[in-house]
Chain A
Amino acid sequence: MSQPTRTDYLALRAKAIESLMIEKGLVTEEAVDAVVEYEQEIGPMRGAKGVARAWVDDDYRKLLLEDPMTALDELGAGGFASQKVVAVENTETVHNMVVCTLCSCYPWSILGVPPTWYKSPEYRGRVVRDPRGVLRDFGVALDEDVEVRVWDSSSEVRYMVIPRRPEGTESMSEAELAELVTRDSMIGTGLVEGPAA
């Protein structure tokens, strides 16, 4: 028998607690399937649609900034961990980044399952103190005169970033633009790139 890995062990331990909780009537196996289904249903495309619409429709952009829950309603805000979402906008002179230093709060229903790096001690610990260094880890360099604002989600409020629209996208449709918007750009660790030449 080959040596079990740490992950094998954790899976086994999780199964032990799962059977205990099922037996006590505290969870069901079907609920795990419901979670898996939900995770496949959500994704950064929901938030990306809001960003693309804000780029092409200035009234929508204002609504997204002033009343984000109404603006994001049809995209799925209000779901798990997204009861109160606030959208913050990048400009020529301001770059926003989102973190939860104490745990890993994240607007699941509009950005999908959080990536592992978002939950890492390195990101959580460093981004409030050295945001530009963290951006370098992601290969992002900001212009000299940009102010960085880091938003720490320590309450039930969740933040999302409206990234800047890249140049050379003037003729693109809303749907095409949405395809360009990445998860990382809505957390603030990435910029949106224009279409490859």
Chain B
Amino acid sequence: VSGTSPRVNGAHDLGGAPDLGPVPVEPLGPVDNARWEDVVFTLMLGGAMSGVFGVEQHRTAMEGIHPALYMACSYFERWLVGVETCLIRAGVTTAAEIEALVDEVAADPDRELPPGRAPELTEAIRSILADGFQGEGWPERKPRFGVGEEVRAKVIRIEPGRGHTRSPGYVHGHLGVIEEVYPPQPLGEAIVAGESVNEFVYRVDFRAADLWPEADPRDRVKTDLFESYIEPPGAAARTGKEER
């Protein structure tokens, strides 16, 4: 089974995509985001801290952007599309309402923003920046797999923009060896489905040449995979085919 098919689960699933040009290298030195980019970043944090949508819903929304548009958009442009989609999906607004509002602002670009109504959110956002997102308590369970064990990355297919997975397409179907077991973390697709599931995360070591025939035989790719993304090597025949 060769699961090395970038973009199969959405335009964002880029690992190993063969058609990409040189990296747009920038000089070293401080990175200075434009104000509108900081605004977009804050809107995502606002969504998360007010509980209207979370990081996972936001990622899922961005993953549904058409591949052609995805490549044409800058990073924060995709984030803005993601925020809008989440607001619409959460029933906060409609596409028509957004377009009408954009027209209003276009007609009067310097108009003042409305007065704030949720000062507690400012503090919540400050604390998320200082302390990071605080995970819930982790359940007392044993990991299914252990360090040194060989596992296969399952072939996982989702509907881009609706389904969600953190398993990159380039590992699907491939064998790797568990190198580290990390404590359980919230599983993104469960959150998107409105559930709360924590799973152990395994750092799996893949030989680059197993993933791509032209790779240097010495090189390695190490990918963090949730427990439900991997299986014992022998289980491959069951899952490789029937996922679609």
A residues near B, CB below 8 A? 7, 10-32, 34-36, 38-39, 43, 78-84, 101-104, 109, 112-117, 119-126, 128-132, 134, 137-138, 146-157, 182-184, 189-190
Secondary structure at the B interface, as helix, strand, loop or mixed, is mixed
Q: How far is the CA of A130 from the CA of B215 in the complex (A)?
A: 7
Q: How far is the CA of A34 from the CA of B219 in the complex (A)?
A: 42
Taking A26-B92, A103-B12 as contacts, is the C-beta distance between A12 and B106 under 8 angstroms?
yes
Residues of B within 8 A of A25 (CB): 50, 117-118, 121
Residues of A within 8 A of B129 (CB): 34-35, 38, 79-80
* A27, A126, A157 — most chain B CB neighbours (10 Å): A27
Q: How far is the CA of A18 from the CA of B121 in the complex (A)?
A: 14
Taking A34-B122, A36-B38, A122-B23 as contacts, is the C-beta distance between A102 and B12 under 8 angstroms?
yes
Question: Other CB < 8 Å A-B pairs besides A12-B106, A129-B170, 7 of them?
Answer: A20-B98, A25-B118, A29-B116, A103-B62, A113-B32, A129-B18, A148-B216
Interface string of B174-218 (1 = CB under 8 A from A): 000000001001000000000000000101000010011001101
The answer to whether the Cβ of B235 comes within 8 Å of any Cβ in the partner chain is no
Contact of A125 with B92 in the complex, beta carbons under 8 Å = no
Contact of B121 with A101 in the complex, beta carbons under 8 Å = no
Residues of A within 8 A of B16 (CB): 125, 128-129
Q: How far is the CA of A172 from the CA of B56 in the complex (A)?
A: 45
Contact of A15 with B113 in the complex, beta carbons under 8 Å = yes
Taking A20-B87, A35-B38, A35-B42 as contacts, is the C-beta distance between A147 and B220 under 8 angstroms?
yes
Interface string of B5-43 (1 = CB under 8 A from A): 010000011111110111111101011111110111111
Chain B nearest CB: distance from A106 CB in Å? 11
B residues near A, CB below 8 A? 6, 12-18, 20-26, 28, 30-36, 38-43, 45-47, 50, 52, 59, 62, 70-71, 74-77, 80, 83-84, 87, 92-93, 97-98, 101-102, 104-106, 109, 113-119, 121-122, 125-126, 128-133, 135, 166-168, 170, 182, 185, 201, 203, 208, 211-212, 215-216, 218-226
Contact of A116 with B26 in the complex, beta carbons under 8 Å = yes
Other-chain residue from A15, A83, A130, A154 in contact with B39 (beta carbon distance below 8 A):
A15
Contact of B222 with A151 in the complex, beta carbons under 8 Å = yes
Q: Which B residue sits closest to A84, measured CB to CB?
A: B182
Residues of B within 8 A of A24 (CB): 92-93
Contact of A128 with B125 in the complex, beta carbons under 8 Å = no
